[in-house]
Structure 1
Amino acid sequence: MYEAYLFDLNGTIIDDMQFHARAWHEILTKDLKFEITFDETILQMYGKNSELLERVFGKGYFTQQRMDELSMEKELRYQAAFKPHLKLIDGLGQFLDKAHQKGIKMAIGSAAIPFNIDFVLDNLNIRKYFPVIVSAEDVILSKPHPETFTKGAELLNVEYAKCLVFEDAPKGIEAAQNAGMQSIALTTLHQPEDFVQYPNILKFITDYQALDLL
């Protein structure tokens, strides 16, 4: 049995990635007048918000202050749109409770900022399951670099190979692979064919209803 479960947040604990994508697409196309399709926006949605802006516009196009402003504006729009739909992915509540009772350690490892992580954990009352939280502000290098997950494992005091990662994004699965960790892939935004290059995936799931502890 794995000793620790490391969870990404968006698209893994809650099914909200379409809301993030809409908020980003609106800011990029309407606010910033950049020509990019919705599907192309989805492909850029990994890592920190500032990294997304730098991938789209190039490094140095915005000041750090402007990127911080755009990042917060995007999160405010996302939260306003998603809050009426905020709920755990089906079966996750029971899965977390069962893992907690079995003594499996758990952590959040996300490229989200604390503002968004708090929005989810506190509104859904699941903070008690996650004594360790690694956010965008806690790492130097974002996924697919392994730092998000290796730091989580170290804070839980669990060997990397004894951690199981739950992710919804190819770059997140790649980060787990780079950390030497196996993973479960949720198909909330991407389909299995988007993950064919990653041998560290144990299984694909749409929700947690039929998933047993591993």
Structure 2
Amino acid sequence: MADFLRKIDHKLFTRCYMATTNKYKAFIFDMNGTLIDDMKYHTDAWYEILTKELGSDLSYENLKAEMYGKNAELLVRVFGEDYFQPEEIEQHSVNKEKQYQKIYKPHLEAISGLQDFLSKAEKNNIAMGIGSAAIMFNVDFVLDNLDLRRYFASLISADEVERSKPDPETFLKGAEALGVKPEECLVFEDAPKGVEAARNAGMDAVVLTTMHGKEEFAALDNIKFFIKDYEDPQLDQLI
């Protein structure tokens, strides 16, 4: 009986300790690969356009390494600075997003456990926002089709920033919009560039291993832990 009571006391102490020492007042979520496991569909859409329409010989594996930042930046990385006129870049970007939504919509679903996790965070008065390199066209597509919009008090997309991740602008604007200090924010990300952006903003991060392995984040020291989905018990310490 004494051992049992000690275990109970320890559990209560742990819960109380975590409740009083949790420094995070806000969660900022990347979207692609973080709320939804869709990066394969983005890569497929780009690969179709880059190779079949635009004549690139970029391999699928090499393309995966370029899957960060704004669409215009990806096109410049692949083809060079002056290959396309601005209006051509805009058209290719729009075509890619339409292709992505077409092939992904039948598979659109939230990462396992996300709804429950967002609900718990909301009940614990944790402010939440989106900080994504996606354009608002895609943010709306995801939030409205999955009925997630109500959880997020701020939406920072590629349309609201001048500099893409790993620049911290996306997350710093998110913190400002939520009314919290950068160090009070915890970022949820799936990509090394995104975690680097969080570090540059002075924020910790939780990493979802939807597209990148743990070894790809070895150089980053602001990671609290890695998770496969939002059913991971490690998340209990956050809310």
TM-score (norm 2): 0.88
Corresponding residue for 1:141? 163
Given residue 63 of structure 2, which amino acid in structure 1 is its aligned partner? T
Cα displacement (A) at 1:174: 0.3
Equivalent residue in structure 1 for 2:204, among 179, 182, 190 = 182
Task: Please state if 1:71 is matched with 2:93.
Answer: yes
Corresponding residue for 2:55? 33
Matched residue of 1:212: which SS?
helix
Whether the 8 Å CA contact 1:91–1:208 is kept in 2: the answer is yes
Query: C-alpha root-mean-square deviation of aligned residues, in Å?
Result: 0.7
Q: Percent identity?
A: 55
* Structure 1: tracts of 5 or more residues without a match: none
**CA displacement, residues 80-102 of structure 1 (integer Å, 9 cap, x when unaligned):** 11101111000000000000010
Corresponding residue for 1:173? 195
Between the aligned partners of 2:70 and 2:94, the Cα distance in structure 1 is 12
Between the aligned partners of 1:33 and 1:212, the Cα distance in structure 2 is 48
Return the structure number with greater helix share: 2
Equivalent residue in structure 2 for 1:112, among 134, 146, 149 = 134
Cα displacement (A) at 1:22: 0.6
**CA displacement, residues 37-75 of structure 1 (integer Å, 9 cap, x when unaligned):** 111111111110000001111112111111111111111
Report matched runs for 1:1-40 at 5 Å: 1=22, 2-40=24-62
Between the aligned partners of 1:108 and 1:213, the Cα distance in structure 2 is 21
Task: Please state if 1:212 is matched with 2:232.
Answer: no
Whether the 8 Å CA contact 1:105–1:156 is kept in 2: the answer is yes
Between the aligned partners of 1:19 and 1:186, the Cα distance in structure 2 is 17
Question: Following TM superposition, where does structure 1 have runs of at least 4 consecutive aligned residues deviating by more than 3 angstroms?
Answer: none
Cα displacement (A) at 1:28: 0.7
Cα displacement (A) at 1:213: 5.0
Between the aligned partners of 2:85 and 2:173, the Cα distance in structure 1 is 28
* Structure 2: tracts of 5 or more residues without a match: 1-21
Whether the 8 Å CA contact 1:99–1:213 is kept in 2: the answer is no
Matched residue of 2:130: which SS?
strand
Task: Please state if 1:57 is matched with 2:79.
Answer: yes
Between the aligned partners of 1:106 and 1:60, the Cα distance in structure 2 is 39
Task: Please state if 1:45 is matched with 2:45.
Answer: no
TM-score (norm 1): 0.99
Corresponding residue for 2:221? 199
Given residue 100 of structure 1, which amino acid in structure 2 is its aligned partner? E
